[in-house]
């Protein structure tokens, strides 16, 4: 297998690290990927990829000869100069980003090693500057990731942009990082900037996308009051190229490993400098309230929820993943139980991951089983199989065929025809037709 250019080092083979390692190998680079967990490294060396990401396993197998997985920092430092740091930066209790893993990586690099620390992990603006102050012998480049779960491989290979941030003195390091992406050709427009701006680009992009979602969710709530349909409103708004049509799907709010964490991290970062980021405070609050609105919609039809059996369809934070991080289902099930409801749930893949987090929720092994005897259903995650369900048969099995479609995923007219009372988000409620016998 031929290889191009210099070797790429990857630190941390979680989801971002593994996708980064696989894709750089696919682009023809030799990759050395290091993780501190021996079981993970052994499994990956055997070709066992525990992360579900379309195309990833095949890509790792196809490029097996180009990728070495190791626990040894020495092997990594000997084999590669450019070290893509892909460790977790989860939120702390204060909402700041936890940089302990990043600091542990920096501590392992020598004082004057000649290596380039390339930061892929999402870090607060200012992190690069403080690492450079601490380790003047280390070159530092910020190269944030913009990958979406479920399309991460495609996102890497066909990026909207690649951001490479470096400060004075690190121009050569930035050239070397940019060169790694050169095989992407025209696709990966490389945006060269300084470190602090690169760090802010990542946080601001995610915060803006979250703002778009909270904005359309508030528009949806107003649509319900004035008789409009948020889908139509989003279509009309999105046709304006200055607005754009993506990320205008109203629903019960955003979740996942990035948006909640990054919005909070940016708000805290601003707060720590003495600036109150008013808009983001509202974005977060709207997202929290949006999940809770489902309770009001159910109460409108059912009155008190005490003793009512509510079926949640979907638990993962979005379809095609078993990721439960910041999933709306967590807040929703707790709120429903807080109102005295009995909660039963079904998810095509996330049940194993969700069960320990939702110990008092009954898990069903099919959508129909979850709906059986339920007083209402809430569609939480827009899994494809929910569209194909025999809803007329489901209506027969429910104690009351009432559905709150938290993702505006189902066709309201078809659901009414199947015998359901239908409530979406920012859509007009559809009563089920009265049965003529």
Residues binding ligand UDX (CB under 6 A): 145-149, 206, 209, 213, 247-249, 251, 254-259, 317-318
Residue found by looking up tokens 């121009």 in the block: 171
CB of residue 338 to ligand UDX, shortest distance in Å:
22
Task: Say how far apart CA 410 and CA 82 lie, in whole Å.
Answer: 48
CB of residue 364 to ligand UDX, shortest distance in Å:
22
CB of residue 216 to ligand UDX, shortest distance in Å:
7
Residue nearest to ligand UDX (CB): 258
Cβ closer to ligand UDX: 259 or 383? 259
Which pair of tokens denotes residue 168?
């004075």
- 3-state class (DSSP) for residue 165: strand
User: Which residue from 206, 382, 203 is spatially nearest to 287, judged by alpha carbons?
Assistant: 206
CB of residue 355 to ligand UDX, shortest distance in Å:
20
Cβ closer to ligand UDX: 194 or 215? 215
CB of residue 318 to ligand UDX, shortest distance in Å:
4
**Is-contact 237 183, C-beta < 8 A?**
no
Task: Say how far apart CA 357 and CA 363 lie, in whole Å.
Answer: 12
Chain CA centroid to CA 296, Å: 27
Cβ closer to ligand UDX: 145 or 342? 145
> Which residues neighbour 207 within 8 Å (Cβ) at sequence distance 6 or greater?
262, 263, 266, 280, 283
CB of residue 288 to ligand UDX, shortest distance in Å:
13
Cβ closer to ligand UDX: 26 or 145? 145
At residue 403, φ and ψ (nearest 5 deg) are -130, 135
Cβ closer to ligand UDX: 147 or 180? 147
Cβ closer to ligand UDX: 1 or 243? 243
State yes or no: is 143 an active-site residue. Answer: no
Q: What is the DSSP track for 52-110?
A: --TTHHHHHHHTGGGEEEES-HHHHHHH-SEEEE-----B-TTSSB--HHHHHHHHHS-
Q: Around Cβ 437, how many Cβ atoms within 10 Å?
A: 3
Task: Say how far apart CA 29 and CA 31 lie, in whole Å.
Answer: 6
Chain CA centroid to CA 248, Å: 16
The single residue of 86, 143, 223, 258 carrying the catalytic annotation is 258
Catalytic residues: 258
């Amino acid at each position: 297998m031929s290889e191009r250019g210099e070797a790429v080092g990857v630190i941390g083979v979680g989801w971002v690290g593994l996708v980064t390692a696989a894709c750089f190998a696919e682009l023809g680079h030799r990759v050395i990927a290091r993780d501190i967990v021996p079981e993970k490294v052994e499994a990956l060396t055997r070709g066992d990829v525990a992360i579900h990401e379309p195309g990833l396993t095949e890509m790792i197998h196809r490029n097996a000869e180009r990728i070495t997985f190791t626990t040894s920092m020495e092997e990594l430092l000997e084999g590669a100069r450019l070290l893509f740091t892909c460790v977790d930066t989860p939120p702390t209790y204060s909402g700041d980003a936890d940089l302990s893993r990043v600091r542990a990586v920096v501590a392992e690099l020598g004082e004057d090693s000649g290596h380039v620390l390339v930061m892929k992990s999402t870090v607060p603006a200012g992190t690069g500057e403080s690492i450079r102050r601490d380790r003047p012998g280390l070159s530092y480049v910020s190269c944030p990731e913009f990958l979406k779960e479920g399309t991460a491989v495609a996102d890497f290979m066909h990026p909207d942009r690649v951001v490479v941030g470096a400060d004075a003195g690190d121009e050569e390091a930035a050239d070397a990082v940019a060169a790694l992406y050169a095989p992407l050709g025209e696709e990966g427009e490389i945006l060269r900037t300084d470190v602090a701006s690169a760090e802010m680009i990542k946080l601001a992009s995610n915060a803006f996308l979250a703002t778009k979602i909270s904005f359309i969710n508030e528009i949806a709530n107003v649509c319900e009051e004035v008789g409009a349909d948020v889908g139509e409103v989003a279509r009309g708004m999105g046709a304006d190229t200055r607005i754009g049509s993506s990320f205008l799907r109203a629903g019960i709010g955003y979740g996942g490993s990035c948006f909640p964490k990054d919005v909070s991290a940016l708000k805290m970062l601003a707060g720590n400098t003495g600036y109150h980021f008013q808009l983001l405070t509202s974005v977060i609050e709207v997202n929290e309230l949006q999940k809770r609105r489902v309770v009001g919609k159910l109460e409108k039809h059912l009155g008190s929820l005490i003793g009512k059996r509510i079926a949640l369809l979907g638990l993962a934070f979005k379809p095609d993943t078993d990721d439960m991080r910041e999933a709306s289902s967590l807040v929703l099930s707790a709120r429903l139980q807080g109102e005295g409801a009995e909660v039963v749930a079904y998810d095509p893949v996330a049940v194993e991951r969700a069960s320990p987090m939702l110990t008092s929720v009954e898990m069903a092994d099919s959508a129909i089983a979850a709906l059986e005897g339920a007083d209402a259903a809430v569609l939480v995650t827009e899994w494809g199989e929910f569209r194909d369900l025999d809803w007329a048969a489901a209506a027969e099995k429910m104690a009351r065929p009432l559905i709150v479609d938290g993702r505006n995923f189902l066709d309201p007219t078809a659901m009414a025809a199947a015998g359901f009372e239908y409530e979406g988000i920012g859509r007009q409620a559809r009563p089920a037709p009265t049965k003529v016998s």
